[in-house]
């Protein structure tokens, strides 16, 4: 089955398709993709991984078509970040 | 034989439907932006004119003349033409739907092409016999197609020219037509 | 349902045709006499230019006959009579011009003398080859009174060809064609004088020609 | 040997005498070298060094990455100052990733791979590997990684290795000089390549305006029966791969096919020499001969230049500018690229640096096309530049594409002859760029559409699954509130975030 | 150095013929499928429709009617499926030659021959009618032949993938 | 009332059938060798247009979509026949000149286009007005073309007007240039195209002066 | 060191050709024939020539300034000069001045600038000018005179010339028919060509130019020399001239063989009228003739055949101008269907098949 | 007279019937216009046109209720295609071809709220709750919907960068060359 592997830096992103056997785990897919060689800085112990925006474990079993994502942590403190003006917020709230 | 050659040359070149008789100018100005479109229109018109001039002749000879109904010629001819176009439309469709799909759009334009009616009226005015009428219809439409294709070629070229803004579009088309008519003046006197 | 629609199209169109058919037929009915009269008047006008009114008392169109000319074309010969005697003839003659046939009406008296010639139709270039129209120049009037013997046959040519007739600048073909046509017309008369003057010959239908 | 005519072409003013009789001079090692990561067609190389590293001459400092790529080596020994963005030798003047190397003045060789003592006994793979390791690219100007072309023998049955010594561009004499000074190295390199490719014949084609080169090369080749030297007519662009093949074999390479499909592989003579060096001595490609010429150069000559030397250094070595040049060109005057400045480095594909005066360029203002048809007569590709440029001018690029603008290889013959001085090639380059953009955009749009559909399907499936789960749960707990159960979990998360 | 602008181009712009287009199956009748093309017409000739007073004829709906075409349904297409079809470039020219020139030629030739042989108007007319019918038959045959070769009518190339869009120009 | 004002303005100049919409070109070329012929032809067309527009406006609810075009053609053809008959009967001299072209009013695009665009959608009176003023605008255009061609070509203006319309029109006949000095080409086919082209340019210049955008192409803007 | 911004793509070399140089060489090639003719027809011809060329230049300048283009720079390309020159050479030498001026207006304003100026026109401007004049002023345009060389007895002096050119006082006695016109007129009186040929100048006179005709018609040999000079200079190729003359000669010869009484011989057609001028200087006009060699051959043969057709059957005795205009109208189509085959592709544009290698 | 009326009427009926037959022959079962229009739209359902998605916009277009110029991601090409399909003339002058853009996340402002991820119709944003979000440029088509929903203004639109890979020669400007040269002569 085919799954996607993605890692992204602001200036450079990688999103590969890899063929993995049924029942493969997130870790299997990451290793098979060779993405670690491209981005030596990836540290799977520290960095969280997930599938389509949902954090998951490294040994989670994959389904066909999944995109395995390797995340980075946020750099700011969410409490101090200035928010959009109220009106904008309301609008986006309504849309969401 | 020579008479037929002369009739042909006269109808196709010397008294060209478009350039000398000023018939079919709408399609001449409208459908000549691309060569293949002009060819398509030309061939369709050739077919319709030839067929309808035969039919018109027959209507004239067997209906209008015996019953002295010449005053109805305009009405009857235009209806015969409409029928001829409709006939062509259906036949082409029957013969090959893909052909129809490709050429269908030209046919409705032909009904209101004054070249078709003009040729019919002309062959009545000249009191032609059946053979002459057929040949005249055919030759006229060949002349029509020829000029359509020439014009299309010229306009394809001129689409790339830096025509002054005031002249761009129709005025330029008219000037080209004028020069084309000028060139065709060279044929004048060929049948005398 | 489809069939019905098909049928209704026919009916609508048919109804319009019927309506217009009636209107047109009626219009024809009310105009037909005037059109005939106009056509007749037209003919008389052109005949009047080549046959002076003074020499006849008949209706020229009534006493017409049909015969063939040298080129085997059917022409109508109009005859002027005074007191039952033929005083003049008029018929169409054809010349070859620069841009095609030139149709003229020739009027002659019983001796074969030209009473008048007028151009009926031509395709010559306006401003150049149309100087034979009486509106433009009086060139065509110079034929009045001439006949086959006057000038002699060999002088029935344009000056350029050694004849006696003027031609106008830039065009020789047109006058040459007209001179030839008139000469031929006179020769036709010379050859068929009896037949043309025979009032007992079958008469042409007065309103034939022109729809 | 019978030669075959090629279509069109021109006879420009060659001006090769400026440099052809001067021996190759070596450029003193500059203090700083700029080695771009991409000096070739394909993917850029991957950096192996970092700031402060000490490297030796010939040491690999960037590795080829992917199939079409080439590695880079240190042209001299020294210290890596930085890996930074530096102006590329490219008309855009855009920067690219470049390794900056400060020479330590010792020019010490690194430990090189073992020479292959008997290359003719070695298998093709070994030779290709060596060529690939040595970072050799086509040195005629196109800079296509040579190892890939040497691999063609595996896929196709090849008859001829054609060594291109035509050097049809005016001014350029670097290949001429290399042939005259290193004939044996070239012949040897060619034989090694032929061996790797499995071609029985080697033909070295040289334009007849280089009689000495022909003579010397003939002599060098005479010892080897499979190697022939052929003088080809002086006709620009004889050096174009496809045309040279046609002139030699009479066969026309079909569009979108390679000369290799006809059994002919073409390499440049200087490439052959580089292969010789790599195979016999293990030396990677770290320097090349560059013709520095043009009316604005005080002392035109051929210079052996380390890769990465800045053009300023090179021009300085040749006495600087005698007059202010109208244009400085990287490559020949016909197909070279204008340089935005002199800071850019010499790269592996730099065959010449020309500083041309206005008189040499003879550029006049453009006037209207008079449809003389000269461009059609001279076009070696049988195209109609007159029509193509007219369509491009009116932004009808698709028609120009139909007429074959993508088949144009920008040889410049049409622009050269155009009496109205219409920048025809510029039009075609523009059109090719836009058409490529469109192609890219089309590919991207298709991808995006698929992505959107994939996402829709995924979300539908998820909703479906949720509904199914709910339905399964419902009988079990039929007192659950029906309305709220289906609400996505994300909403709660979001609320938590806010 | 030619570094920029290398695109893995799958399009051979200069190659003639088959312009691809996408069509949708709107009906299946026996072994024939009816399709409606999704892109604009190739002729662009309707610009004069307004000029000639037949404006109504050129409206969107009616033009769509006319652009419906039929294709042998070898691929087992179903209603609603989208397929990629190819149309030969100079098809209009060829098509009009077949549809009009052939019947016209046979009509004139047979008429001419009859006139020369018999010299009677009625016989000539009859011969022309026969010639016309023969020509129509002939053009039907020709059209069939060319259609089979895909030179004339759009022919089925493949089913369109989900993301495939029509090539607009 | 404003509606009628627009109709009049559009018909006579703004949206002129010949200069702006480029319709009805055949008679605009063929019958404009002299201003007199042009005037005659224009008036005949105007009559046909007014009558047929009125009729279609009257019967627009009875005409179904499918038979629209044939009925329109039929209406125009009938009106043309009427004009043909009446002119033949009562204006015979004019008929002799225009005769061949009267039937061609049928396939003149202008009447049909107006039926299609206006009369088919409006009631009797506005339709009549539209037909009439479009027709008069057409007459004006034709007369202008004819006048230019006649003046430049032969040096006269409204020659033979008295012959065609009656002796009262003798006053219109003028000679502006001496005999035989015109540029003959103007009254020949090439002149027709040329003059029409130049007049369209002229209208554009006036439009530009009036601060309007150039109307690039009437019905076929692609050109 | 700052150098010019790279705003222009390669090549950075250019041949010596330029539009001005091309036009200049054509003018140079025309000069001998022109000088000879000016001598042959004396002062009136010189005046008409000057007026026509000047009118062309003035109209060009006017059109350029109306179009907002640089006037002097464009005038310097000599194209208007060449048009005027060719137009003057196609007029009867003693024609009145206004003929030249009207011709110039139509040639430059109508045929050239309404399309956007140099290179954009589709019809040959000089021939448009001539044709407009011919159909508008048939009398003036077909009034030929026998040569009155400058300073010879009976030749008009400067003052007489003023009267002829500007006063419209054409002496009556001197007019004469051109050879083609003469044969045409005679034929229409059913006088066989062989007989009427007796009245036209002999072959040598025709070649040398001592005969009535327009400036460009006479002196075939000098025109020929000019044409050969252009070929030598590679301004024109042999394709158009040879095919024009070939088409004309072959048609004329075939029909002459069939019926010598009705059809003049091929040689006569070649040396009479404006055949040489048309073949070498008019049909070869870059802008309005096809760009490919094959196209040029088709164009040339078409011109040749049409010249013969028009001379033989149509109303006008000389058909070069009409033939050229008619073929001009076909040029775009010829161009489209004679594009060269692209390298590595067949005529349709498909990539060539890969041949089986031995 | 009766013949006249009769023959005309018969002709009318026959022609009308013919037309009816033709109309029957050519009848279409459905109007596929909406589908066709939908295919011309980018299909990213971004909603910038003011309709819920591409299908709704297509439906509005087919009914003639919407202007063809509303689709921002589609750019000029889409507008022209729609205009061509519908036989209308679109004024594209106001819709100047924008340089292609993509979204970019300013990392110092991203709080990992995942709102943008849910908004993105092409999965071009990668990230998870309270983890860094990043735009995958290759998958972003610049609809800017994410910009609207970001609570912290962390997402901005930036033009697609010109690099050596996608740079190409600009269109030659002949007029300019000409003028420059003249200026050159003046010196």
Beta bridge partners of D291: D302, D352
CA G345 to chain centre: 38
Q: CB-hemisphere CA count at 13 Å for D477?
A: 7
C122-132 burial, b for 16+ CB within 10 Å, e for fewer? bbbbbbbbbbb
Give which of H164, H169, H184, H185 to mutate to test G binding, by max G Cβ within 10 Å: H169
G252 to chain H, closest Cα gap in Å: 48
∠ CA E51-E54-E58, nearest 5°, is 100
pLDDT digits (tens, 9 = 90+) for H57-99: 777 777 666 777 777 666 666 777 777 666 565 555 444 556 6
Q: Give the CATH architecture of domain G19-337.
A: Orthogonal Bundle (1.10)
In a domain, E37, yes or no: yes
Strand E69-72 relative to strand E32-37, pairing? antiparallel
Determine contact: F74 vs chain H, CB below 8 A. Answer: yes
In a domain, F221, yes or no: no
Does F22 score more than 50 pLDDT?
A: yes
Separation of alpha carbons E153 and E147, rounded Å: 5
Separation of alpha carbons G349 and G327, rounded Å: 27
Q: pLDDT digit of tens for each residue in chain G (358 aa)?
A: 444 455 788 899 998 888 989 999 999 999 999 998 898 888 889 999 999 999 999 999 999 998 888 888 888 888 999 999 999 999 988 889 999 999 999 999 999 999 998 889 999 999 999 999 998 888 788 778 878 787 777 777 788 888 888 877 666 555 666 777 777 777 766 677 777 777 777 777 777 777 777 877 777 888 999 999 999 999 999 999 999 999 999 999 999 999 888 888 888 888 887 899 999 999 999 999 999 999 999 999 999 999 999 988 887 878 899 999 999 999 999 999 999 999 988 887 888 888 766 5
DSSP string, C166-200: --BTTBSHHHHHHHHHHHHHHHHHHHHHHHHH-TT
Separation of alpha carbons C115 and C133, rounded Å: 16
With touching defined as 3 or more inter-chain CB pairs under 8 Å, the answer for chains A and F is no
With touching defined as 3 or more inter-chain CB pairs under 8 Å, the answer for chains G and F is yes
SS3 G203: helix
How many residues belong to chain F? 223
Q: Which helix (H) or strand (E) holds H184?
A: helix H174-186
Separation of alpha carbons D39 and D96, rounded Å: 10
B62 to chain H, closest Cα gap in Å: 12
Q: Count of domains in chain E? A: 1
pLDDT digits (tens, 9 = 90+) for A40-76: 788 888 888 999 888 888 888 888 888 899 999 888 8
pLDDT value, residue H29 = 34
How many residues belong to chain H? 187
pLDDT digits (tens, 9 = 90+) for H88-129: 655 554 445 566 788 999 988 888 888 888 888 888 898 888
Beta bridge partners of D34: D100
ipTM of the complex: 0.82
Give which of B89, B91, B104 to mutate to test H binding, by max H Cβ within 10 Å: B89
> Nearest CA to F127 among F23, F214, F51?
F51
Residue spans of beta strands (DSSP E) within D135-226: 160-165, 201-207
A93 to chain H, closest Cα gap in Å: 8
Average model confidence (pLDDT) across chain D: 89
- Whether C173 sits inside 8 A of G142 (CB atoms) is no
Q: Count of domains in chain B? A: 1
A52-65 burial, b for 16+ CB within 10 Å, e for fewer? bbeebeeebebeee
User: Residue D113 has what DSSP assignment?
Assistant: P
Separation of alpha carbons F155 and F148, rounded Å: 9
Q: Count of CB atoms within 10 A of residue G221's CB?
A: 18
Phi-psi region of G219 (alpha: psi -120 to 50; beta: other; left: phi over 0): left
- Burial-class residue C71 by CB neighbours within 10 Å (0-12, 13-18, 19+): exposed
Option in A53, A75, A82 nearest H127 (CB): A53
Whether D364 and D403 have beta carbons less than 8 Å apart is answered as no
Cβ-based interface (< 8 Å): residues of C facing F: 5, 8-9, 12-13, 16-17, 20, 23-24, 27-28, 31, 34-35, 38-39, 41-42, 125-128
Whether B60 and B73 have beta carbons less than 8 Å apart is answered as yes
CA E166 to chain centre: 18
Q: Which helix (H) or strand (E) holds E109?
A: helix E102-117
Q: Count of CB atoms within 10 A of residue B73's CB?
A: 22
SS3 F49: helix
- Whether F70 sits inside 8 A of H16 (CB atoms) is yes
- Whether B90 sits inside 8 A of H15 (CB atoms) is no
Number of H helices, E strands in chain H: 7, 4
Host domain of residue F193: 2-173+180-206
Separation of alpha carbons B27 and B151, rounded Å: 11
User: Residue A48 has what DSSP assignment?
Assistant: -
DSSP string, D241-309: HHHHHHHHH-PPPPTTS-GGGGTEEEEEHHHHHHHHIIIII-----EEEEEEESTTBSS-EEEEEETT-
- Whether A65 sits inside 8 A of D454 (CB atoms) is yes
Phi-psi region of D59 (alpha: psi -120 to 50; beta: other; left: phi over 0): beta
Task: Parse chain G into domains and list their residue ranges.
Answer: 19-337
Host domain of residue B137: 2-187
Determine contact: G9 vs chain C, CB below 8 A. Answer: no
User: Residue F214 has what DSSP assignment?
Assistant: P
G318 to chain F, closest Cα gap in Å: 18
Does A95 score more than 60 pLDDT?
A: no
pLDDT digits (tens, 9 = 90+) for C78-100: 888 888 788 888 888 888 877 67
Separation of alpha carbons H127 and A71, rounded Å: 6
In a domain, B35, yes or no: yes
Separation of alpha carbons G9 and D219, rounded Å: 40
Give which of E41, E51, E57 to mutate to test F binding, by max F Cβ within 10 Å: E51
Whether G334 and G295 have beta carbons less than 8 Å apart is answered as yes
pLDDT digits (tens, 9 = 90+) for B114-129: 888 889 988 888 888 8
Determine contact: E130 vs chain H, CB below 8 A. Answer: no
Q: pTM for the full model?
A: 0.84
Least confident segment among B67-71, E25-29, H147-151: E25-29
Phi-psi region of D327 (alpha: psi -120 to 50; beta: other; left: phi over 0): beta
Does C21 score more than 90 pLDDT?
A: no
In a domain, E57, yes or no: yes
In a domain, F223, yes or no: no
Whether C93 and C67 have beta carbons less than 8 Å apart is answered as no
What angle do the packed helices G320-337 and G293-313 form, to 10 degrees?
150
Separation of alpha carbons G219 and G212, rounded Å: 10
Option in D242, D321, D333 nearest G11 (CB): D333
> Nearest CA to E29 among E2, E69, E63, E65?
E69
Whether E85 and E155 have beta carbons less than 8 Å apart is answered as yes
| Fold held by D16-289 | Rossmann fold (3.40.50)
Q: Count of CB atoms within 10 A of residue D51's CB?
A: 12
DSSP string, D428-484: HHHHHHHHHHHHHHHHHHHHHHHHHHHHHHHHHHHHHHHHHHHHHHHHHTTTS-TTT
Confidence of residue H27 (pLDDT cuts 50, 70, 90): very low
Instruction: Give the list of residues 6+ apart from residue C21 with CB closer than 8 angstroms, or none.
Output: H4, H5, H6, H7, H8, H9
Q: Count of CB atoms within 10 A of residue D482's CB?
A: 10
Beta bridge partners of D103: D78
Separation of alpha carbons G220 and G209, rounded Å: 6
H117 to chain B, closest Cα gap in Å: 47
List subunits contacting chain E, requiring 3 or more Cβ pairs under 8 Å: B, D, F, G, H
Q: Which helix (H) or strand (E) holds F9?
A: helix F2-9
- Whether H131 sits inside 8 A of A48 (CB atoms) is yes
> Nearest CA to G79 among D415, D372, B166, D388?
D372
Q: Which helix (H) or strand (E) holds D140?
A: none
Residues of chain H with Cβ-Cβ distance to E33 below 8 Å are none
C35 to chain F, closest Cα gap in Å: 4
pLDDT value, residue E58 = 32
Task: Parse chain C into domains and list their residue ranges.
Answer: 1-211
With touching defined as 3 or more inter-chain CB pairs under 8 Å, the answer for chains G and A is no
Instruction: Give the list of residues 6+ apart from residue E7 with CB closer than 8 angstroms, or none.
Output: D436, D439, D440
> Nearest CA to G319 among G301, G334, G304?
G304
- Whether D330 sits inside 8 A of E164 (CB atoms) is no
Option in H131, H148, H151 nearest A73 (CB): H131
Residues of chain F with Cβ-Cβ distance to C134 below 8 Å are none
Whether D388 and G340 have beta carbons less than 8 Å apart is answered as no
> Nearest CA to D165 among D229, D215, D250?
D229
User: Residue B63 has what DSSP assignment?
Assistant: I
Q: Count of CB atoms within 10 A of residue A87's CB?
A: 8
With touching defined as 3 or more inter-chain CB pairs under 8 Å, the answer for chains E and A is no
Separation of alpha carbons G326 and G306, rounded Å: 8
Whether C94 and C104 have beta carbons less than 8 Å apart is answered as yes
Option in E1, E4, E12 nearest D256 (CB): E12
* C-alpha torsion angle, residues D27, D30, D34, D35 (rounded to 10): 50
């Amino acid at each position: 089955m085919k799954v996607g592997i993605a890692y992204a830096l602001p200036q450079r992103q990688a999103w590969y398709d890899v063929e993995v056997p049924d029942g493969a785990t997130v870790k299997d897919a990451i290793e098979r993709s060779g993405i670690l060689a491209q981005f030596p800085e990836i540290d799977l112990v520290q960095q969280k991984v997930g599938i389509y925006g949902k954090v998951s474990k490294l040994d989670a079993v994959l389904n066909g078509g999944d995109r395995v994502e390797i995340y980075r942590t946020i750099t700011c403190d969410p409490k101090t970040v200035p928010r959009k003006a109220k009106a904008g917020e309301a609008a986006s709230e309504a849309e969401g | 034989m020579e008479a037929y050659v002369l009739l042909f040359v006269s109808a196709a070149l010397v008294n060209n439907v478009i350039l000398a008789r000023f018939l079919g100018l709408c399609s001449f100005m409208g459908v000549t932006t691309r060569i293949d479109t002009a060819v398509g229109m030309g061939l369709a018109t050739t077919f319709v004119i030839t067929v309808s001039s035969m039919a018109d002749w027959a209507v004239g000879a067997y209906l209008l003349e015996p019953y002295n109904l010449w005053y109805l010629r305009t009405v009857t001819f235009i209806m015969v033409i409409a029928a001829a176009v409709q006939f062509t439309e259906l036949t082409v469709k029957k013969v090959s739907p893909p052909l129809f799909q490709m050429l269908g759009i030209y046919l409705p334009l032909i009904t209101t092409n004054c070249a078709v009616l003009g040729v019919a009226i002309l062959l009545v005015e000249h009191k032609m016999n059946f053979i002459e009428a057929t040949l005249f219809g055919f030759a006229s439409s060949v002349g029509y197609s020829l000029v359509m294709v020439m014009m299309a070629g010229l306009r394809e070229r001129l689409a790339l020219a830096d025509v002054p803004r005031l002249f761009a579009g129709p005025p330029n088309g008219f000037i080209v037509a004028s020069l084309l008519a000028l060139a065709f003046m060279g044929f004048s006197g060929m049948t005398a | 349902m489809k069939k019905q629609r098909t049928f209704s199209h026919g009916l609508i169109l048919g109804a319009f045709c019927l309506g217009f058919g009636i209107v047109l037929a009626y219009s024809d009915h009310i105009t037909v006499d005037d059109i005939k009269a106009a056509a007749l008047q037209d003919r008389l006008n052109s005949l009047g230019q080549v046959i002076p009114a003074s020499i006849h008392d008949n209706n020229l169109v009534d006493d017409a006959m049909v015969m063939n000319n040298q080129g085997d074309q059917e022409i109508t010969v109009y005859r002027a009579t005074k007191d039952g005697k033929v005083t003049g003839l008029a018929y169409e003659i054809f010349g070859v011009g620069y841009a095609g046939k030139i149709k003229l009406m020739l009027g002659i008296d019983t001796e074969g003398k030209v009473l008048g010639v007028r151009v009926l139709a031509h395709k010559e270039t306006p401003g150049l080859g149309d100087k034979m129209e009486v509106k433009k120049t009086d060139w065509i009037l110079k034929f009045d009174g001439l006949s086959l013997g006057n000038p002699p046959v060999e002088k029935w040519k344009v000056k350029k060809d050694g004849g006696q007739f003027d031609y106008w600048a830039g065009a020789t073909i047109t006058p040459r064609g007209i001179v030839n046509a008139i000469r031929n017309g006179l020769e036709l008369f010379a050859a068929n004088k009896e037949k043309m003057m025979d009032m007992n010959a079958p008469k042409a239908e007065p309103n034939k020609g022109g729809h | 040997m019978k030669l075959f005519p090629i279509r069109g072409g021109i006879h420009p003013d060659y001006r090769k005498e400026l440099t052809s009789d001067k021996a190759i001079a070596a450029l003193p090692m500059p203090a700083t070298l700029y080695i771009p990561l991409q000096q070739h067609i394909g993917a850029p190389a991957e950096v192996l060094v970092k700031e402060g590293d000490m490297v030796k001459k010939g040491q690999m400092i960037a590795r080829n990455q992917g199939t079409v790529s080439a590695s880079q080596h240190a042209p001299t020994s020294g210290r890596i100052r930085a890996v930074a963005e530096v102006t590329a030798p490219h008309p855009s003047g855009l920067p690219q990733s470049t390794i900056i190397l400060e020479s330590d003045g010792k020019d010490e060789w690194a430990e090189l791979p073992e020479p292959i003592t008997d290359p003719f006994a070695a298998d093709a793979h070994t030779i290709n590997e060596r060529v690939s390791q040595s970072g050799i690219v086509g040195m005629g100007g196109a800079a296509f990684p040579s190892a890939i072309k040497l691999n063609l023998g595996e896929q196709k049955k090849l008859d001829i290795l054609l060594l291109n010594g035509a050097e049809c561009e005016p001014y350029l004499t670097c290949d001429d000089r290399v042939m005259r000074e290193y004939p044996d190295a070239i012949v040897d390199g060619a034989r090694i390549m032929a061996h790797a490719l499995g071609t029985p014949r080697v033909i070295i084609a040289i334009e007849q305006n280089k009689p000495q080169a022909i003579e010397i090369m003939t002599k060098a080749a005479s010892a080897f029966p499979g190697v022939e030297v052929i003088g080809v007519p002086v006709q620009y662009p004889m050096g174009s791969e496809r045309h040279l093949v046609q002139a030699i074999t009479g066969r026309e390479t079909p569009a979108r096919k390679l000369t290799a499909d006809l059994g002919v592989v073409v390499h440049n003579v200087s490439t052959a020499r580089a292969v010789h060096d790599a195979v016999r001595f293990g030396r990677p490609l770290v320097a090349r001969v560059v013709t520095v010429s043009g009316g604005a150069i005080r002392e035109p000559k051929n210079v052996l230049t380390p890769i990465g030397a800045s053009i300023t250094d090179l021009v300085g070595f040749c006495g600087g500018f005698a007059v202010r040049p109208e244009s400085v060109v990287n490559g020949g005057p016909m197909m070279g690229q204008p340089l935005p400045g002199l800071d850019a480095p010499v790269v592996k594909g730099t065959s010449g640096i020309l500083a041309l005066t206005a008189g040499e360029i003879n550029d006049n203002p453009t006037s209207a096309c008079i449809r003389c048809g000269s461009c059609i007569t001279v076009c070696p590709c049988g195209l109609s530049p007159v029509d193509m440029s007219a369509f491009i001018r009116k932004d009808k690029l698709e028609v120009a594409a139909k007429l074959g603008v993508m088949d144009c290889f920008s040889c410049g013959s049409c622009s050269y002859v155009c009496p109205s001085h219409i920048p025809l090639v510029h039009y075609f380059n523009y059109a090719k760029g836009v058409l490529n953009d469109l192609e890219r955009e089309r590919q991207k749009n298709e991808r995006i559409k698929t992505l959107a559909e994939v996402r829709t399907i995924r979300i539908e499936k998820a909703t479906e699954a949720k509904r199914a789960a709910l339905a399964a749960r419902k009988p079990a707990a039929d007192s659950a509130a029906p309305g709220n159960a289906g609400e996505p979990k994300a909403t709660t998360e979001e609320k938590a975030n806010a | 150095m030619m570094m920029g602008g290398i695109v893995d181009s799958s399009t051979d712009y200069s190659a003639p013929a088959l312009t691809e287009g996408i069509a949708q199956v709107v009906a299946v009748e026996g072994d024939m499928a009816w399709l409606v093309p999704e892109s604009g017409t190739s002729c662009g000739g309707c610009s004069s429709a307004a000029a000639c007073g037949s404006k109504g004829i050129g409206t969107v709906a009616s033009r769509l009617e006319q652009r419906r075409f039929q294709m042998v349904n070898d691929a087992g297409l179903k209603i609603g499926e989208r397929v990629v079809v190819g149309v030969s470039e100079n098809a209009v020219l060829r098509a009009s030659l077949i549809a009009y020139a052939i019947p016209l030629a046979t009509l004139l030739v047979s008429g001419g021959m009859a006139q020369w042989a018999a010299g009677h108007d009625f016989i000539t007319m009859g011969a022309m009618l026969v010639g016309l019918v023969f020509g129509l038959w002939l053009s039907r045959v020709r059209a069939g032949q060319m259609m089979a070769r895909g030179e004339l009518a759009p022919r089925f190339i493949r089913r369109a993938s989900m993301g495939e869009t029509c090539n607009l120009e | 009332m404003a509606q009628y004002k627009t109709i009049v303005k559009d018909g006579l100049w703004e949206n002129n059938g010949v200069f702006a919409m480029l319709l009805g070109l055949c008679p605009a070329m063929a019958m404009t060798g002299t201003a007199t012929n042009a005037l005659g032809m224009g008036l005949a067309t105007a009559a046909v247009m007014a009558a047929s527009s009125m009729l279609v406006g009257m019967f627009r609810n009875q005409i179904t979509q499918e038979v629209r075009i044939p009925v329109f053609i039929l209406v125009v053809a009938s009106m043309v026949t009427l004009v043909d008959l009446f002119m033949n009967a009562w204006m015979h001299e004019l008929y002799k000149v225009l005769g061949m072209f009267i039937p061609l009013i049928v396939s003149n695009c202008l009447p049909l286009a107006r039926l299609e665009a206006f009369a088919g959608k409006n009631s009797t009176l506005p339709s009549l007005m539209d037909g009439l003023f479009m027709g008069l605008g057409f007459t004006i255009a034709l007369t202008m073309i004819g006048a230019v061609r006649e003046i430049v070509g032969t040096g006269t203006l409204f020659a033979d007007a008295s012959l065609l319309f009656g002796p009262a029109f003798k006053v219109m006949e003028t000679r502006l240039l001496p005999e035989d000095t015109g540029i003959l080409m103007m009254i020949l086919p090439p002149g027709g195209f040329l003059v029409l082209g130049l007049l369209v340019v002229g209208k554009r210049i006036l439009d530009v002066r009036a601060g309007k955008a150039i109307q690039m192409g009437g019905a076929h803007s692609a050109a | 060191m700052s150098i010019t911004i790279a705003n222009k793509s390669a090549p950075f070399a250019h041949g010596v050709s330029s539009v001005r140089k091309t036009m200049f060489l054509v003018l140079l090639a025309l000069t001998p024939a022109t000088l000879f003719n000016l001598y042959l027809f004396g002062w009136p011809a010189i005046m008409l020539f000057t007026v026509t060329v000047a009118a062309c230049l003035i109209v060009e300048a006017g059109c350029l300034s109306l179009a907002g283009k640089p006037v002097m720079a464009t005038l310097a390309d000599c194209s208007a000069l060449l048009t005027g020159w060719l137009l003057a050479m196609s007029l009867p030498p003693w024609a009145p001045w206004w003929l030249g001026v009207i011709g110039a207006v139509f040639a430059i304003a109508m045929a050239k600038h309404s399309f956007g100026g140099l290179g954009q026109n589709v019809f040959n401007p000089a021939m448009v000018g001539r044709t407009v004049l011919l159909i508008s002023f048939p009398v003036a345009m077909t009034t030929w005179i026998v040569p009155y060389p400058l300073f010879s007895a009976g030749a008009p002096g400067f003052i007489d010339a003023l009267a002829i050119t500007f006063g419209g006082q054409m002496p009556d006695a001197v007019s004469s028919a051109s050879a083609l016109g003469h044969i045409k007129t005679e034929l229409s009186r059913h006088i066989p060509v062989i007989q009427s040929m007796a009245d036209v100048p002999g072959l040598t006179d025709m070649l040398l130019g001592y005969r009535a005709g327009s400036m460009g018609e006479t002196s075939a040999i000098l025109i020929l020399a000019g044409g050969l000079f252009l070929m030598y200079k590679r301004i024109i190729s042999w394709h158009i001239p040879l095919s024009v003359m070939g088409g004309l000669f072959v048609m004329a010869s075939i029909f002459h063989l069939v019926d010598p009484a009705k059809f003049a011989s091929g040689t006569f057609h070649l040396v009479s009228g404006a055949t040489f001028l048309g073949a070498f200087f008019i049909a070869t006009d870059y802008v309005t003739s096809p760009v490919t060699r094959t196209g040029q051959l088709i164009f040339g043969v078409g011109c040749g055949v049409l010249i013969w057709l028009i001379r033989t059957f149509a109303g006008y005795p000389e058909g070069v101008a009409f033939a050229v205009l008619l073929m001009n109208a076909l040029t775009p189509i010829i161009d489209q269907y004679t594009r060269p085959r692209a390298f590595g592709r067949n005529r349709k544009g498909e990539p060539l098949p890969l041949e089986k290698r031995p | 007279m009766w013949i006249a009326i009769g023959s005309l009427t018969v002709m009318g009926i026959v022609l009308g019937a013919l037309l009816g037959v033709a109309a029957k022959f050519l009848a279409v079962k459905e109007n596929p216009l909406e589908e066709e229009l939908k295919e011309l739209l980018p299909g990213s359902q971004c909603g910038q046109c003011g309709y819920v998605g591409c299908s709704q916009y297509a439906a509005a277009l087919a009914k003639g209720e919407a202007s063809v110029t509303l689709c921002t991601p589609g750019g000029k090409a889409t507008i022209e295609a729609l205009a061509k399909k519908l036989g209308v003339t679109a004024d594209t002058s106001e819709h100047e071809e924008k340089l292609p853009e993509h979204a970019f996340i300013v990392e110092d402002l991203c709080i990992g709220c995942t709102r943008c991820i849910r908004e993105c119709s092409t999965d071009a944003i990668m990230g998870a709750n309270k983890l860094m979000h990043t735009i995958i440029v290759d998958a972003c088509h610049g609809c800017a919907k994410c910009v609207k929903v970001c609570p912290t203004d962390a997402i901005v639109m930036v033009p697609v960068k010109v690099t050596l890979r996608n740079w190409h020669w600009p269109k030659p400007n002949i007029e300019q060359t000409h003028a420059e040269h003249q200026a050159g002569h003046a010196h």
